[in-house]
């Protein structure tokens, strides 16, 4: 990296900018940090088009939203599979005897000890919770606020069912 900015760097920066180079490319070619080049560019009245960066950011955000949705679906798939395994038929097998023979059979329901069953159910609950969190990240934050506002108005006007507890 260069150590100090000179008038020659001003000239080179103006030339690079005029040729359409990005801030990053200018910094790389001049041998300075982007922040340094940006500071001197601002001093010289230069600006860089940020539309490509904005478009890339929007695309990346959409990609991440899709990845979170896929991950969320996988959490639910895993929970369903684990719960199906918990209450569904199970294959049991054994090796043994003088001949070291293999035998297998299917039983109606897996027999888990209480600790194993609890661990499985806890894991399933955690996966469901993670799914809920991922759904909230991409949800509309205004929906819940709107529900609270409407519920508060309904309570204030006495439009709620007396059997239903007031909303919070």
- pLDDT, position 81: 85
**Is residue 57 helix, strand or coil?**
helix
- pLDDT, position 161: 60
The whole-model pTM stands at: 0.48
**Is residue 32 helix, strand or coil?**
coil
- pLDDT, position 140: 67
Residues of the chain with pLDDT under 70: 1-2, 140-147, 160-168
Q: What is the pLDDT of residues 108-129, one digit of tens each?
A: 877 778 888 888 888 888 888 8
- Could you give the C-alpha distances from 68 to 43, 127, 129, 134, 143, in angstroms and in order? 42, 13, 14, 6, 20
**Is residue 149 helix, strand or coil?**
helix
**Is residue 67 helix, strand or coil?**
helix
- pLDDT, position 151: 76
- pLDDT, position 42: 94
- pLDDT, position 1: 54
- pLDDT, position 99: 86
Closest listed residue to residue 65, CA positions, set 136, 163, 4: 136
Q: What residues are paired with 91 via a beta bridge?
A: 106
């Amino acid at each position: 990296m260069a150590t100090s900015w000179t008038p020659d760097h001003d000239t080179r920066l103006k030339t690079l900018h005029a040729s359409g180079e990005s801030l990053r490319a200018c910094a790389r070619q001049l041998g300075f940090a982007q922040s340094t080049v940006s500071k001197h560019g601002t001093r010289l009245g230069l600006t860089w088009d940020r539309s490509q960066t904005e478009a890339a950011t929007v695309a990346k955000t959409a990609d991440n939203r899709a990845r979170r949705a896929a991950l969320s679906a996988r959490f639910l798939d895993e929970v369903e599979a684990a719960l199906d395994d918990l209450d569904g038929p199970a294959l049991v097998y054994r090796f043994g005897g003088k001949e070291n023979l293999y035998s297998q059979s299917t039983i109606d329901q897996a027999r888990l000890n209480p600790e194993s069953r609890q661990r499985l159910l806890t894991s399933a609950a955690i996966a469901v919770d993670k799914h809920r969190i991922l759904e909230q990240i991409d949800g509309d934050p205004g929906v819940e606020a709107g529900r609270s506002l409407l519920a508060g108005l309904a309570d204030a006007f006495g439009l709620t069912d007396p059997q239903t507890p007031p909303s919070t």
